[in-house]
Structure 1
Amino acid sequence: MKKIAYCLLASILISTACSPIISNFDRFAYKQITSIKVDALSLMDEATTDYASHAAEVKALQSDINKAIEYNKHRLHNDITNNMYALLNDPKANLLGGFLVKWQNDRKCSPAYITDKKKQIAFSFDQIADLEIRKIKH
């Protein structure tokens, strides 16, 4: 009985040790993040004008982000990417989600603020894309 328990424990440990700790590379996920980055940074350039005139574009961007989040949420071993997306999209954080809320509340943003935020947000998108591109390719 003890021998069976040890064998079972050993097989669980071996199978756990051999399972991936991060998801495999996904071409669609990589394309999503790079495409959304381009759209987001382009839209941010418009933040010097009234938010109301770009509300539909913001809604479309948020929809694309939500689609990417939903897609990535259902990939196994993808917690790191999911957490990165959550931070990027968080309306209370200082990345894209927070930028869009500030733009909506203030109606316009200064060019200096936009330039500063674009650097931070572009870096965040790049971090997600870099993580995806470095995953194991099958």
Structure 2
Amino acid sequence: MKKIAYYLLASILIGTACSPLISNFDRFAYRQITSLKVDALSLMDEATSDYASHAAEVKALQSDLNKTVEYNKHRLNNDITNKMYALLNDPEANLLGGFLVKWQNDGRCSPAYITDKKKQIAFSFDQIADLEIRKIKR
């Protein structure tokens, strides 16, 4: 009986030690992040005009982003990607979530501000996409 317990414990330890530390590559997740990047940057170009005229587009983008976040939450070993999405989407941070809140609160944004934020937000999307593309492909 003692031998069986040791074998069971050893197999559990070996099994958890051999499990991946990060999720595998997911073609759907990669497609989603690249699509969201294009949509977000395109919508940001509209921020020089009144927010109210683009509220439906903002809501659609946020919905698409939330769907992607939810999809990624349920992937095993995907904590790093999930944290990156949380930062990107945080309405109190200085990335996409914060940009959309500022646009809503201010009504419109200056072209210089938009240009600066697009660089930061594009970089953030690229970081998520780069992480996904570098994951092990099955």
> Considering the TM-score relative to the shorter chain, is it more than 0.5?
yes
Q: Which amino acid aligns with 2:67?
A: K
**Percent of pairs with identical residues:** 89
Q: Give the structure-2-normalised TM-score.
A: 0.96
Tell me the C-alpha RMSD between the 2 structures. 1.1
Matching residue of 2:46: 46
Taking the aligned partners of 1:28 and 1:4, their CA distance within structure 2 comes to 42
Q: Which amino acid aligns with 1:135?
A: K
SS in 2 for 1:75: coil
Taking the aligned partners of 2:5 and 2:74, their CA distance within structure 1 comes to 33
Would you say how many aligned residue pairs link Structure 1 and Structure 2?
Answer: 138
Question: Larger deviation: 99-108 or 7-16?
Answer: 7-16
Taking the aligned partners of 1:76 and 1:5, their CA distance within structure 2 comes to 28
Q: Give the structure-1-normalised TM-score.
A: 0.96
Matching residue of 2:9: 9
Taking the aligned partners of 2:8 and 2:44, their CA distance within structure 1 comes to 55
User: C-alpha displacement at 1:4, in angstroms?
Assistant: 3.9
Q: Note the alpha carbon deviations across 1:42-80, whole angstroms, 9 max, x for none.
A: 000110110001001000100100110111111111111
Q: Which amino acid aligns with 2:47?
A: A
Runs (4+) off by over 2 Å:
1-9
Matching residue of 1:114: 114
Matching residue of 2:132: 132
Taking the aligned partners of 2:121 and 2:6, their CA distance within structure 1 comes to 50
Matching residue of 2:68: 68
Q: Which amino acid aligns with 1:60?
A: A
| Equivalent runs, 1:75-114 vs 2, <5 Å | 75-114=75-114
Taking the aligned partners of 1:2 and 1:92, their CA distance within structure 2 comes to 55
Matching residue of 1:20: 20
